[in-house]
Structure 1
Amino acid sequence: MTFSVNCSILLTELPLLERPAAAKAAGFDAVEFWWPFASSVPGDAELGRFERAITDAGVRLTGLNFDAGDMPAGDRGLVSWIGRTSEFRDNIDVVAGIGARLGCTSFNALYGNRQDGHTPEAQDELAVQNLAAAAGAVARIGGTVLLEPLSGAPRYPLLTANDALSVIARVAQESGVENIKVLADFYHLAVNGDDVEAVIERHAPDFGHVQIADAPGRGAPGTGDLPLERWITRSHELGYEGYVGLEYKAPAATAFDWALRQRTAR
């Protein structure tokens, strides 16, 4: 199994730009990030520092989120956010530029919360347009846009794999783009009550990315009740060939003890 460390939720005791090197020191060769900047269009110097932190660490950037707004305040994406379209469109070019320079081809576009004062239909129409624009831009570097169901966000409308797949099908029908795939975070799907095993059986070859955390608690593998190893193994058996993102909460000192135990056992 090939794992990618999400440096936005793990190793948080360290400054952001020190986390890729820490992931490498822990034995991992790949990292992923939520949007790591305070604005949709950071300056060249800030971009350069972020990119050097990854290349100097000797790891590969395998996943990057588009700007999702103020995540600590509860924002969960700009894709369907009426009033911030220009901000999202400007961010597309920045994301694609980072991908081109670092060889990253997977980009997570969080859909966005439902807004007071706007109908779901209007937000969904905007989302289709924005997803098509994002997909068109990253297609030029061989990229894929990911669409993720989330838990713990009451106003976020994509809860199950089928919710995301329905949006993806609509974008394909209306715009013709085919490089949007579901991000199957087994933790979010399980917490939301989705039938994860059925999702894997039906859709594993079409997953754009897989992420894991255990439940309850969103902790490291083995801290909860989810059969994560079985789900990962079955996904690979059915044709999923990508990385498995480690997107859980754990102290840096013990964050990867489970992986060390696996390596020792083998």
Structure 2
Amino acid sequence: MRLLANTGFLFADLPFPERLAAASAAGFDGVEFHDEVQRHDASGIAAALDELGLTVGGLNIRMGDSFGCAALPGHEADFIADLTAAHAAAVAVGAGAIHVLAGRGAGDEAVFRANLRRALDATDRLILIEPICAEAVPGYHLSRLDHGLELADLFGPRVRVMFDWFHAATELGPQNAAEALARHTALIGHVQAASCPGRNEPEPEVLHRFADTGCTAAGLEYRPLITPADHLARLRAAGI
């Protein structure tokens, strides 16, 4: 399984461009981004990735204080601008997926669905939607896994759920989260790993669950307690 360093969480003490070299030195196969590329020289980031031999799994649309705005009424123009910037960044660095964040606040489902349709028309990238549990981000519009799965089923294969173990296990409990992962594999486009409840280094069992469902890559999005290189070595020793 290819393991991707989420640069929004890992190596956070380093300036963004330096996180790429740190991920390579630690032994990661690739990276995934929050919205850092949109705030840097994308061509320079692409050149660094090429030199380091790192691939990019995906990146987020602009997050801001509201964690995106796709479901927030009155922000349609902001959403289009954010999507345009995310698409350009994804093309520049070779990211195959864009995570469209719904936003927190007075969200509206009709607005969210209309913006997802706009996203499908505006980019050729896979659109990921991530259910983010209420404990982590209170008021986030897409807080339940079943809601995300419903939308993925409705919109078809270019909209898929980003299944984050921390959020799913917090919402449903570990056993129910594992069962949902196995049951709905076809609607899941990407997986991320962190422990629950601490959101620290994920145990190898979590990655084995992903591999058992056919996942070939996983993003590691956690708050490190040990160096990412040491944790990655432990995962590899466990057969990941």
Among 83, 102, 124, the alignment partner of 1:111 is 102
8 Å contact 2:152–2:187 — kept in the other structure? no
Moved more, 12-21 or 194-203: 194-203
Equivalent pair of 2:105/2:140 in contact (CA under 8 Å): yes
Give distance in 2, aligned partners of 1:229 and 1:104. Answer: 22
RMSD of aligned Cα (Å)? 2.2
1:144 corresponds to 2:126: yes
Once residues 93 and 265 of structure 1 are traced to their aligned partners in structure 2, the CA distance between those partners, rounded to angstroms, is 41
Match of 1:16 in 2: 16
- Assess if the C-alpha contact under 8 Å between 2:3 and 2:218 holds in 1: yes
When normalised by structure 2's length, the TM-score is 0.88
Q: Note if contact 1:62-1:105 (Cα within 8 Å) is conserved in structure 2.
A: yes
Structure 1: distance between partners of 2:211 and 2:56: 23
Q: Aligned equivalents of 2:100 and 2:17: distance in 1?
A: 22
Query: Partner amino acid for 1:144?
Result: L
Report the counterpart of residue 245 of structure 1 in structure 2: 219
Task: Give the counterpart letter for 2:93 in structure 1.
Answer: L
The aligned counterpart of 2:75 is: 84
CA contact (8 A) 2:193 2:207 kept: no
Match of 2:137 in 1: 153
Partners of 1:263 and 1:126 in 2: CA distance: 43
- 1:20-58 per-position Cα deviation (integer Å, ceiling 9, x unaligned): 111011111210111116xxx75xx73334333433332
Instruction: State yes or no: 1:55 paired with 2:50.
Output: yes
Q: Deviations over 1:184-211 (max 9, x none)?
A: 1011000112521221221113311000
> Among residues 90, 93, 98, which one is paired with 1:99 in the alignment?
90
Q: Which runs of 5+ in 1 are unaligned?
A: none
Pair 1:28–1:227, CA change in 2 (3 A): closer
The structural deviation recorded for 1:182 is 0.5
**Contact preservation (8 Å) 2:45, 2:93:** no
Selected match of 1:162 from 122, 141, 146: 146
- Letter matched to residue 88 of structure 1: F
In structure 2, runs of 5+ residues without a counterpart are none
Cα distance change on mapping 1:262 and 1:32 into 2, 3 Å: closer
The one-letter code matched in structure 1 to 2:122 is: A
The answer on 1:125 being equivalent to 2:110 is yes
| TM-score after normalising by structure 1 | 0.80
Report the CA distance shift for 1:264/1:231 in structure 2 as closer, same or farther (over 3 A).
Answer: closer
Partner Cα distance (2:21, 2:188) in 1? 28
The one-letter amino acid paired with 2:87 is A
Deviation sequence 1:91-139 (CA, Å, 0-9, x none): 2222222222332111111111132xxxx5xx21111111111122222
Q: CA deviation at 1:83?
A: 2.5
Letter in 1 for 2:49: I
Q: Distance in 2 between matches of 1:54 and 1:91?
A: 23
Matching residue's letter, 1:263: R
Contact 1:96 1:138 in 2 (8 A): yes
- C-alpha distance in 2, partners of 1:168/1:264? 35
**CA 169–265 in structure 1, closer or farther in 2 if over 3 Å, else same:** closer
8 Å Cα contact 2:43/2:92 also seen in 1: no
Between the aligned partners of 2:82 and 2:129, the Cα distance in structure 1 is: 16
8 Å CA contact 1:18, 1:53 repeated in 2: no
> Between Structure 1 and Structure 2, whose CA radius of gyration is higher?
1
Distance 1:262 1:154 in 2: 32
Of residues 227, 231, 236, the one that matches 1:258 is 231
Q: How many residues align?
A: 235
